[in-house]
Amino acid sequence: MLGIIIIVNLLAAIAAFYRVLKGPSVFDRIAAVDSIGIMFLVILVFMSYYFERQIFMDVALVYGLLLFIDILIMAKYFGKTGSESR
């Protein structure tokens, strides 16, 4: 049952990757990367219970904190260059 739910969440992440490939602007791609990252966070928590090892929860915590820095720096720098070019 947990394996089927992992497969469904992975298919949802693949479907959201379509917006990364064909976004009209840069900000669409960054929003899609944000949603894909939180789907990956959910998949990491699922795998901690799928393999029954509790160490895997720390990887999810570290990845969630680093995703925030990633999205924030992308939004800051790409927004500044976008405002200069227009």
Partner 1 sequence: MNDFLHFLRVLLFYYFILSGTFFLISTAIGMIRFPDFFTRLHAGSKCLVAGGGSIFIGFIIYEGLSPVSLKLLLLIAVLFAINPTAVHALARSAFHSGHLPVSPGQLSSKKETGKEQSDE
Partner 2 sequence: MNNIIFYLLLFFLVGSAAAAVFSENLINSLISLSVFSGLLVIIFVFLQAPDVALAEAVIAAGITTTFFIIAINKTCDLEDSESQNES
Contact 20, 32 (CB under 8 A): yes
Helix (H/G/I), strand (E/B), else coil: 22: coil
x/- mask, partner 1, residues 27-46, rule CB under 8 A, reads xx-xxx-xx--xx-xx--xx
Tokens of 84: 């200069």
Question: Which residues here bind partner 2, judged by CB under 8 A?
Answer: 3-4, 6-7, 10-11, 13-14, 17, 20-21, 26, 29-30, 33, 36-37, 40, 43-44, 47, 51, 53, 55-56, 58-59, 62-63, 66-67, 69-70, 73-74, 77-78, 80-81, 84-85
The answer to whether residue 15 forms part of the interface with partner 1 (CB under 8 A) is yes
Which amino acid appears at position 83 of this protein? S
Do residues 57 and 47 lie in contact, with contact meaning Cβ atoms separated by under 8 Å? no
